[in-house]
Amino acid sequence: MERTLVLVRHGQSDWNLKNLFTGWRDPDLTEQGVSEATKAGELLNALGMKFDIAFTSALSRAQKTCSIILDGVNQSGLETIRDEALNERDYGDLSGLNKDDARERWGEEQVHVWRRSYDVPPPGGESLKDTGARVWPYYMQHILPRAMRGECVLVAAHGNSLRSLVMVLDGLTRDEITGLNLDTGVPMIYRLNADTTVASKEILTA
């Protein structure tokens, strides 16, 4: 039985490029983002990866990344489940603001705390802990059971929704997860043991 889970952060979005807080806002991929998603599909295809099911968020940048990857492994018609439980962390009042402008308004230290702490949310938004509180139950109820059946599962989502998953899968502490960044468009392949723990992890880079 395979029990394989592939996590991919969406390719670069237009707001990533413009250094804006994105959250639940819905900008499209840039040309570079499309290229990153295409490369991810090529790398997975080179491994002979075939998926049984795909999961993505309610946001178009993740959905488009998912679609491009599935095209790359010749599975464009694969069943894909979209759910806002996998959405990016909600940045609340910071959404749409330039990160440098936010630092000028609230100060470097305060913005750093909002961005990188585990449990301090920005005004009107979510902390990483809050994000995990919706991501992890969804994973347990919908994604993990498919993998434990021996299926190969693709999850195309966002930096913080995936960080909250990686924190638990990799057994990271609060301090360790605050220092972790996930690159756009880079697949992480997890193979799971029969007790749902991680047997191996591989990060695919070009």
184-205 pLDDT, tens digit each: 999 999 999 999 999 999 999 8
Q: Is residue 185 part of a domain?
A: yes
Domain that holds residue 138: 4-16+29-90+127-203
Q: What is the pLDDT of residue 15?
A: 93
Q: Is residue 114 part of a domain?
A: no
Residue 1: pLDDT band (50, 70, 90) is low
Q: Is residue 117 part of a domain?
A: no
37-96 pLDDT, tens digit each: 999 999 999 999 999 999 999 999 999 999 999 999 999 999 999 999 999 999 999 999
Q: Is residue 106 part of a domain?
A: no
What is the count of structural domains for the chain? 1
Query: What's the pTM?
Result: 0.96
Q: Is residue 112 part of a domain?
A: no
| Sequence-distant (≥ 6) Cβ neighbours of residue 152 within 8 angstroms | 2, 4, 6, 49, 50, 51, 52
Rounded to whole angstroms, the Cα distance separating 43 from 41 reads 5
Q: Which residues are catalytic?
A: 10, 88
Q: Is residue 122 part of a domain?
A: no
Give the CATH number for residue 166: 3.40.50.1240
8 A C-beta contact, residue 47 and residue 123: no
Q: Which residue's entry shows tokens 């402008």? A: 101
Question: Among the residues of 22-158, which ranges form H helices?
Answer: 31-46, 60-72, 99-106, 108-116, 128-138, 144-148
Q: Is residue 164 part of a domain?
A: yes
132-166 pLDDT, tens digit each: 999 999 999 999 999 999 999 999 999 999 999 99
Q: Is residue 140 part of a domain?
A: yes
